[in-house]
Structure 1
């Protein structure tokens, strides 16, 4: 069974797990009904919160552990579990695909579970936790083109029934968050970057997206570290060809956090 699309989702704040007022929570809950009805054989999640020097896959034979890689939140959030099966065969396949495409080193991290960039959206997208999940890391010391090429190497996975999901945040500057703001109050610099990204994607200006640091307004402020944007580049590349982009969700929270999420379909 081949799949048609890849995705980039903005997972935002971990409080999405308990706060029904966050609009993106409802987007993720409607995933199978309104966004993507196909059932994947496995999921490859490229998370901003798995950041390593070299491309790395997690190798888990049993259920994935739930990693609580956040601090100072309500205690109920640390009781949530997402025990999706590991996907060691997919991890091997990802490693083979990357090395076959010329990536000289691909590491394995045995026993590493799912960080919140993976399990927070997936617990709403696939609440049964019955689809095997493998994670692939980003390399924040490198650039967008590196991650786009990683995605290109992984494009054949769609034909094998694997859903490739990049999980980050369209804007991500934790120092600028307004804990008292809701979606109607947003910083102009964040809106400018978010709008630039949307138009670049919809117009398929992927070279510009790869070079976003030199092309986009307020790039350094929107992403002081690139880790939350690089999963986007992987998702674009993994769609294959020169894909068509579609904005599948857009909302704001905390004044500067965009939950923009995109679907990529090979043309």
Structure 2
């Protein structure tokens, strides 16, 4: 059974950089079993109703501004999977989860940066999924859990976001500086809860975790939410492994969690 993953997509510049994190992601794609298809929940596709993409080929969305021209030349023309989209619809319907089909949206940078690092040839079908940061973590977990059986058929489920993602606190001119203590303390608390699969504490992270309101500010919950979708997808195994963690700009975390 293929594991699910939470993968930080970092800042857009990551797409054209070469560093320890980009090397890790490329090696991860080369070493783990090749999936038949990918279901990806992106922090940059927010929706109050769960969206399920149903397209034949994705366009590339450049949902950022003010970056080098090289970023806007990247194309990641992944194929969709009508069959997998319909299977997801059936799973949601059988479990009473409300959803809507989207037949036109491309892949935002939260999706294509991660996918391009893992599978640069864009040769694996993708079903893109929205996230709803206004749901409770328990509800996000439940949506991921509803898809857990897909992993038995070698479908890779990814949540793309960031465990510490506070753009008002990042130090874009201090890339090589020390890691802020508050960010590290939050990630350490999170790691302990994930490794022990303490969902009671995780579902109440905003009240229990140190520096939670700074690490996951109210205006930035969409980047934390994908963690629960990815975790829920492995609720049958309840095993979490930290595969990588590093930081940029003082506190922007690059965390990769494997579930299952």
Runs of 4+ aligned residues of structure 1 deviating over 6 Å after TM superposition are none
* Kept in 1: contact 2:246–2:254 (CA 8 A): yes
1:29 paired to 2:26: yes
1:217 paired to 2:214: no
Stretch moving more, 9-18 or 176-185:
176-185
Q: What's the TM-score, normalizing by structure 1?
A: 0.93
- Aligned pairs for 1:1-267 within 5 A: 3-21=1-19, 23-34=20-31, 36=32, 38-61=33-56, 63-103=57-97, 105-224=98-217, 225-265=220-260
* 1:68-116 deviation digits (Å, cap 9, x = unpaired): 111111111001011111122212211221221121x201111111111
Q: What's the TM-score, normalizing by structure 2?
A: 0.95
Please give the alpha-carbon distance, in whole angstroms, between the structure 1 residues aligned to 2:161 and 2:69.
24
The structural deviation recorded for 1:242 is: 4.5
Please give the alpha-carbon distance, in whole angstroms, between the structure 2 residues aligned to 1:108 and 1:172.
29
* 1:211-260 deviation digits (Å, cap 9, x = unpaired): 21122111111111211111111111111324111000111101111111
The structural deviation recorded for 1:206 is: 2.1
* 1:157-183 deviation digits (Å, cap 9, x = unpaired): 112221001111010001111012235
After superposition, the CA RMSD in angstroms is 1.3
* Kept in 2: contact 1:9–1:261 (CA 8 A): yes
The structural deviation recorded for 1:209 is: 1.4
Query: Which ranges of structure 2 fall in alignment gaps of 5 or more residues?
Result: none
